[in-house]
Amino acid sequence: MKGRILIAGETWVTTAMHTKGFDTFVTTTFGEGYSSLKAALEESGYEVDVIENHVAPTRFPDTAEALSRYSTIILSDIGANTLLLHPNTWLNAQKSANKLDAIAEYVRNGGGLIMVGGYLTFTGIEGKGCWKDTAVEACLPVRLQATDDRREHPEGVVGTIVEPGHPVMAGIEGPLPALLGYNRVTLAPNAALVATVAGDPLLALTETGTGRAAAFMSDCSPHWCPTDFVNWPGYRTLWSNLCAWTGRLPLGADASGGRT
């Protein structure tokens, strides 16, 4: 087994009102976008845990020590408020742990972090991702906008690998498949830019303390990451390499879970 990965986010509940003439009724559906990423990592030898958005306020670990069982944490389409507002605080006005501070401490102590783009990561739709000016942003290789950072490209936009010799690009051959959108950010000081999209950062890496962090500014599943990207042979390799690099695990070789 390679490292143990935690994916947080990538789920949603949709409420729809159906109107049929005089009558209406409401339905709810649960959706998830993590299955392709989870399968790709498991096929590469990782053990993967998932904490879905609706349970993250209570189930996401609240200390760096508890997070240290994972070699890498992936935050994907999960807003900062989901981790900040524990029910004890939101409903009962009680103190609770600051999970964003715990993530930052975990990274500084040697943990791996990947933030994946979406409507509620980075700054996100209507600015509701709320990751700007947090302890987590300080760990990332990018700096965030203050307002809605989405760049929608329904026509498709192709990323460019600008650092093909970096270890995270091992085994990946371009060109990248087209994406349908991304979060617009700027590169942080001392960060490494590996790929761009429409002149903006697409994939960036950095080291914080003894830990490592990566930012992929588009999605890991539809709609921004279309089926062609998910089915691309490099999809599995890219995410496996990113988890290996951030978790300081050998690329393409087995390693024990957790951090050493």
| pLDDT (0 to 100) of residue 252 | 63
| pLDDT (0 to 100) of residue 255 | 42
Domain architecture of the chain: domains with CATH? 4-14+27-246 (3.40.50.880)
14-33 pLDDT, tens per residue? 999 999 999 999 999 999 99
Map tokens 């349908």 to a residue: 180
pLDDT above 50 for 240: yes
What whole-number percentage of the chain has pLDDT above 70?
96
208-222 pLDDT, tens per residue? 999 999 999 999 999
Please check whether residue 204 is in contact with residue 192, taking contact to mean a CB–CB distance below 8 angstroms. Answer: yes
179-235 pLDDT, tens per residue? 999 999 999 999 999 999 999 999 999 999 999 999 999 999 999 999 999 999 999
pLDDT above 90 for 173: no
pLDDT band of 251, cuts 50, 70, 90? confident
Please check whether residue 200 is in contact with residue 184, taking contact to mean a CB–CB distance below 8 angstroms. Answer: yes
178: CB partners within 8 A, 6+ apart:
156, 157, 158, 226, 228, 229
pLDDT above 70 for 253: no
- Taking the C-alpha atoms of residue 197 and residue 185, their distance in angstroms, rounded to an integer, is 11
Q: Is 215 left (phi over 0), alpha (psi -120 to 50) or beta?
A: beta
Q: Dihedrals φ, ψ of 194, to 5°?
A: -105, -35
Say what the pTM is. Answer: 0.95
- Taking the C-alpha atoms of residue 122 and residue 76, their distance in angstroms, rounded to an integer, is 9
Q: Give the mean pLDDT of the chain.
A: 95
